[in-house]
Structures are given as C-alpha cells and as structure tokens.
Amino acid sequence: MPDADLPPIELSDEFIQKARDSIPALPEYLVSILLGRPHGLRLDMARRLSVQPEELNLYSAVFETGIADGQTTFNW
C-alpha cells in the first residue's frame, strides 16, 4: 500500500542500469565461472579467488594475456 505522506519515486532506466553495473558478482557465480572453461580451476582455487577481489583482479589480468592456463596462472 502506498504511503500517503511519501511521493512516488521514479528512477530513470539509466540510473537503474548504472546501479546494476555497480553490484559485484556473487562468490557462487564467480566460482561457477572459474570452474568451467576456459579457466578450469580446482574448487579450492576458485573459492579462494571468489572471496579475494585483489587476487581475482591479478589472476584475471594475467590470465587474459593468454600466456598460461588457469591453474598455472593461479599458482604463479
């Protein structure tokens, strides 16, 4: 039921999209990505990266170069 004392708030589509883009991925989602192709990490590796944003950023930067596979990149 709407509150009679509060006016309705209308949000622009741009504002909503910006808010959606600013929300980080959930750890479970990151684990599922890191377990699959092309990463192919073990479960313990994927879980560690999913809760350590700094390590995930470093892993991603190195992995995207294509120099090594996922497990080698993680161990590096």
Q: What is the pLDDT of residues 16-75, one digit of tens each?
A: 999 999 998 899 999 999 999 999 999 999 999 999 999 999 999 999 998 888 989 988
- pLDDT at residue 71, rounded to an integer: 87
The token pair that represents 29 in the structure block: 């989602």
**Is the pLDDT confidence value at 6 over 90?**
no
Q: What is the model's pLDDT at position 14?
A: 96
Q: 74 vs 3, 22, 32, 62, 63, CA distance in Å?
A: 52, 26, 16, 9, 9
Instruction: Give me 21's structure tokens.
Output: 């883009």
Tokens of 18: 């910006």
Q: Identify the burial level of 3 via C-beta atoms within 10 angstroms of its C-beta, where 0-12 means exposed, 13-18 middle and 19 or more buried.
A: exposed
pLDDT of residue 48: 95
pLDDT at site 75: 87
On the question of a cis peptide bond just before residue 24, with omega within 30 degrees of 0, the verdict is no
**Does residue 1 register a pLDDT over 80?**
no
